[in-house]
Amino acid sequence: MRPIDHLLELMATLRDPVRGCAWDREQSFATIAPYTIEEAYEVADAIDHGDMAALKDELGDLLFQVVFHARMAAEAGDFDFDDVARAITAKMIRRHPHIFGDAEQRDAQTQTIAWEATKAEERAAKGHDSVLDGIARSLPPMTRALKLQGRAARVGFDWAEAKDVIAKITEEVAEIKAEIDADAAFERLEDEVGDLLFVCVNLARKLSVDPERALNRANMKFVRRFNHIEKSLESNGQPIGEAGLEAMEALWLDAKMLERQGDGR
């Protein structure tokens, strides 16, 4: 038996109304979706760490999620795992006519343009009227912002240069300051902070920086430097809650200096 067939059989057993697992039987698309998203992030984390053993395991976990959804759809009479495989195969063939059809060979840039054109045709065939249609609302907000901006940019709605975006960031910061000075309602502050974050994502896009990856690097940097503060204070027998901001900021700067020395700067 092929491994995939064994996995499909296992999933059917877990969902069996009589001899299956009570937890697995109770699940629905909605309850499983968060696990699917979590597994995708764990795949990305394994890749980020260059851990191939973990990547193998996490890809298996993600595949199990696909099998789980497909099994529930089969039980409802909508589609099964084979239909999923056929659909993605047909889509990839359709989007690669230069490989599987009679179109001319394309370089990476030309293929990207053609890929987006094919996706636009597919969206139109589904009745999507807007350029922005089809971007999942369930995506992480930063990722969705990036995709929305990219779609708009393809039809010319974009800043010419990154420095233009920086000017917009300055404008958005000024608007937040004005709302704070006016003692604005929370909703106004939330709107303005959202605008600032949206423009920051745009700056990352203009610089060809992945904002999710950049923020993740910033998160890890923060943890690393804050750990330095904690360890330094602990070595001096001082509780962190009693150190004070000035002392902690000095140790933060010390952590930055040590990092630069380690980088050879």
pLDDT, tens only, 135-151: 888 888 999 999 999 98
Residue pointed to by tokens 């900021």: 249
CATH code at position 134: 1.10.287.1080
Per-residue confidence (pLDDT) for residue 265, from 0 to 100:
58
CA dihedral for 175, 180, 182, 183, sign (positive or negative): positive
Task: Check residue 9 and give its pLDDT.
Answer: 97
Torsion, Cα of 43, 46, 51, 57 (10° steps): -40
pLDDT score, position 162? 93
Query: Which of 37, 69, 94 finishes a domain?
Result: 94
Which pLDDT score is estimated for 185?
96
pLDDT at 199: 97
- Show pLDDT as tens, one digit a residue, over the chain (265 residues): 899 999 999 999 999 999 999 999 999 999 999 999 999 989 998 998 899 999 999 999 999 999 999 999 999 999 999 999 999 999 999 888 888 888 777 777 777 777 777 777 777 777 667 888 888 888 889 999 999 999 899 889 999 999 999 999 999 999 999 999 999 999 999 999 999 999 999 999 999 999 998 998 999 999 999 999 999 999 999 999 999 999 999 999 999 999 888 776 5
- What is 2-39 written as a DSSP string? -HHHHHHHHHHHHT-TTTS-HHHHH--HHHHHHHHHHH
Structure token digits, residue 94: 């359709």
Which two tokens mark 163? 């420095």
Does residue 144 sit in the same domain as residue 192? Answer: yes
Q: Are residues 194 and 254 in the same domain?
A: no
Q: Give the pLDDT of residue 167.
A: 95
- Does one domain contain both 13 and 64? yes
Give the residue among 116, 148, 145 at the shortest CA–CA distance from 211.
145
Q: What is the per-residue pLDDT for 84?
A: 97
For residues 185 and 224, membership in a common domain is answered with: no
Three-state DSSP at 208 gives coil
The DSSP line for 65-102 is HHHHHHHHHHHTTS--HHHHHHHHHHHHHHT-HHHHSS
Tell me, yes or no, whether 157 lies in a domain. Answer: yes
Asked whether residue 77 is domain-assigned, the answer is: yes
> 216 and 201, same structural domain?
no
- Per the structure, the complete domain to which residue 35 belongs is given by 3-94
pLDDT at 264: 63
Helices (H), the chain: 3-14, 22-26, 29-48, 52-75, 81-94, 97-100, 108-125, 141-154, 162-181, 186-206, 211-235, 245-262
Whole-angstrom Cα distance, residue 69 to residue 29? 6
| Token duo for residue 67 | 């099998």
The verdict on 74 and 155 lying in the same domain is no
Claim to verify: residue 232 and residue 201 sit in the same structural domain:
no
pLDDT value at residue 155:
86
Asked whether residue 70 is domain-assigned, the answer is yes
Residues 9, 80 within the same domain? yes
In Å, how far are 13, 69, 98, 150 from 36, measured between CA atoms?
20, 9, 33, 25
Is the same domain home to 67 and 9? yes
pLDDT at 253: 95
Structure tokens at 124: 């139109």
* b/e per residue 36-69 (b: at least 16 CB within 10 A): beebeebbeebeeeeeeeebeebeeebebbebbb
Same domain, 140 and 222: no
Q: Is there a single domain that holds both residue 9 and residue 90?
A: yes
Domain count, the chain: 3
Would you say residue 123 lies in a domain? no
Which of 192, 209, 226 lies at the terminal end of a domain, its last residue? Answer: 209
Last residue of a domain, one of 94, 109, 142: 94
Token pair of 145 as six digits: 């912002």
* CA atoms of 190 and 195, how far apart (whole Å): 9
